A and B are shown apart, each in its own frame.
Chain A
Amino acid sequence: QVQLQESGPGLVKPSETLSLTCTVSGGSINSYYWSWIRQPPGKGLEWIGYIHYSGSTNYNPSLKSRVTISVDTSKNQFSLKLSSVTAADTAVYYCARHVTSSSCFGYWGQGTLVTVSS
């Protein structure tokens, strides 16, 4: 069974860069698409962007200027960097694997709360 686990700092200062890593176990990162999704406290879900194991990416235009998603197939990991963060970026961040041949999300990490505060 595929498992995903997010890791990274839970507190980031305003204007700095948020960095998270998703480690995939129980399966290979190859042959799939992988996304980052976030959920501000008490609010709905927002898709941030995806990466294919080949390295191709697609980002939400609302975040595109600040987002970089990368993949390390040797470590079975993919990562998120979000620059110039503000309090509005405070959220639970999830990594997820796409359903085969689809663009919905069949496997999710447990999520990690990132708070932006000085």
Chain B
Amino acid sequence: DIQMTQSPSTLSASVGDRVTITCRASQSISSWLAWYQQKPGKAPKLLIYKASSLESGVPSRFSGSGSGTEFTLTISSLQPDDFATYSCQQYNSYPWTFGQGTKVEIK
């Protein structure tokens, strides 16, 4: 299985901060990576697919980059609604696997 490792596990930030989350794959996954946002007690919400494509309706302050084994999710200016847990998912090969999540907390 491809292991997905996110860093950091927890991130403390303030409204307006630029935030970057990293996801590393244990082997190359090309650009077959998605990012999700999840709030407590809710289902994940797709933000980014194919590493850098913004899902319809997702604010443009979210962006994704990377290919191969290293990927980043960037929030250009953190908003109050963005405090949540973010997870990456590879869909290059079966079984599809997720990172353990990065919790973005209020500083």
- By a beta-carbon cutoff of 8 Å, the part of chain A in contact with chain B is 43-47, 58, 60-62, 94, 96, 99, 102-106, 108-111
| Partner among B1, B32, B87, B95 whose Cβ is within 8 Å of the Cβ of A44 | B87
Nearest Cβ on chain B to A3's Cβ, whole angstroms: 11
| Partner among B44, B50, B98, B101 whose Cβ is within 8 Å of the Cβ of A102 | B50
CA distance A110 to B98 in the complex (A): 19
Known contacts A45-B87, A102-B49, A102-B91; decide if A110 and B55 are in contact (CB<8 Å). Answer: no
B46 — nearest CB in chain A belongs to which residue?
A106
Interface size on B, residues (CB 8 A): 23
On whether the beta carbons of B44 and A46 are closer than 8 Å, the reply is no
* B-side contacts of A105, CB under 8 Å: 34, 36, 44, 46, 89
Q: Is B66 an interface residue (CB 8 A)?
A: no
CA distance A105 to B50 in the complex (A): 12
Nearest Cβ on chain A to B33's Cβ, whole angstroms: 8
Nearest Cβ on chain B to A108's Cβ, whole angstroms: 4
On whether the beta carbons of B44 and A108 are closer than 8 Å, the reply is yes
Q: Is B99 an interface residue (CB 8 A)?
A: yes
On whether the beta carbons of A44 and B46 are closer than 8 Å, the reply is no
Beyond A44-B101, A61-B94, A62-B1, list 5 extra A-B contacts (CB 8 Å).
A44-B100, A45-B44, A47-B98, A105-B44, A105-B46
